[in-house]
Amino acid sequence: DGFEANEKLELGHLQAELFDNYVEEKLINPTFVIDFPISISPLSRRSDEDSQIAERFELFICGRELANGFNELNDPLDQYERFLKQIEAKNAGDEEA
């Protein structure tokens, strides 16, 4: 089972694609996945420890996502900058943006 990555994918989106294709279905026991790439979490608060990480979690049981939560972004300048990046990505052909 090969994986073909779009060469234009940003690192966070590539990580998400790999997770979705190779990891998610293997999470049988209740599992919390935490600290997502900031680029795929536009409404999540940025981590104080690592500016590339969003304070977000997902709960998986039997290979299925059952919950998704995050600390809400409350910095208007950060939110504005993320929305601009999202628009740029969409204009560049990113269907997920």
Domain span including residue 20: 11-91
Residues belonging to the chain:
97
Residue 36 identity (one-letter amino acid): F
- pLDDT level of residue 20 (50, 70, 90 thresholds): very high
Residue 1 lies in a domain: no
Residue 96 lies in a domain: no
Residue 97 lies in a domain: no
Residue 76 lies in a domain: yes
- 11, 40 Cβ separation under 8 angstroms: no
Q: How many domains does the chain have?
A: 1
- Convert 53-76 to b/e letters by CB count within 10 Å (16 or more is b): bbbbbbebeeeeeeeeebeebeee
* The pLDDT value given to residue 3: 72
**What one-character DSSP code corresponds to residue 39?**
G
Report the alpha-carbon distance of residue 51 to residue 62 in Å, rounded.
31
Q: Which range has highest mean pLDDT (8-12, 18-22, 60-64, 78-82)?
A: 60-64
Residue 59 lies in a domain: yes
